Amino acid sequence: MKKLALAALAGLLSLPALAHDYSAGALKIDHPWSRAMPASSPTAAVFMTISNSGGADRLLAASTPQAARAELHQHLNDNGVMRMREVSGGIVLPAAGQVKLAPGGLHLMLLQIPKQAVSGDRFPLQLQFEKAGKVTVEVTVESGMAPFHPAGH
């Protein structure tokens, strides 16, 4: 019984370490993650949910030492063909709204990666918002392929 109680206490104490969300003013950035990719892949994508409890804002850019460039991207249905395009002008974060960066929809594309991260790795990512300013988050690399669910399609 004593061992069980100690195990439960240890589990509760580790919960803050599992927390994976960040705040910047009215913005809450939840669970930034990337999928483990083959070592030969020169690109990767980063996903997260951004909730906005204040006035409208906009995600303008991102950067990371993990890649030479980071771009804001979206998947679009072009006459039945899914295509990836860079988002010009940033990603709008509506007032009192939420935006999901998810596989098959909006995402951050990391380009010219010298070495792919593997499952369990973490790396910093700096997000630049129009009003909230710069926010650095830690991206967790997860294994396996998430199911493809195009956002809004």
pLDDT of residue 58: 97
Alpha-carbon distances, residue 132 vs 27, 46, 109, 136 (angstroms): 7, 20, 21, 12
Question: What phi and psi values does residue 152 have, to the nearest 5 degrees?
Answer: 75, 10
- The two beta strands, 107-111 and 69-78, are antiparallel
pLDDT of residue 152: 38
pLDDT of residue 83: 86
Query: Under a CB-based contact definition with an 8 Å cutoff, are residues 113 and 121 in contact?
Result: no
Ranking 5-9, 63-67, 135-139 by mean pLDDT, the lowest is 5-9
Match 């918002």 to its residue by tokens.
Answer: 129
pLDDT of residue 4: 41
pLDDT at 148 over 50: no
User: What's this model's pTM, rounded to 2 decimal places?
Assistant: 0.81
Q: Tens digit of pLDDT for each residue in 68-116?
A: 999 999 988 888 888 889 999 999 999 999 999 999 999 999 999 999 9
pLDDT of residue 82: 83
Q: Tens digit of pLDDT for each residue in 11-59?
A: 444 334 455 899 999 999 999 999 999 999 999 999 999 999 999 999 9
pLDDT of residue 144: 67
Give the C-alpha separation, 107 to 67, whole Å. Answer: 15
Taking CA 139 as the corner, what is the angle to CA 143 and CA 9, rounded to the nearest 5 degrees? 80
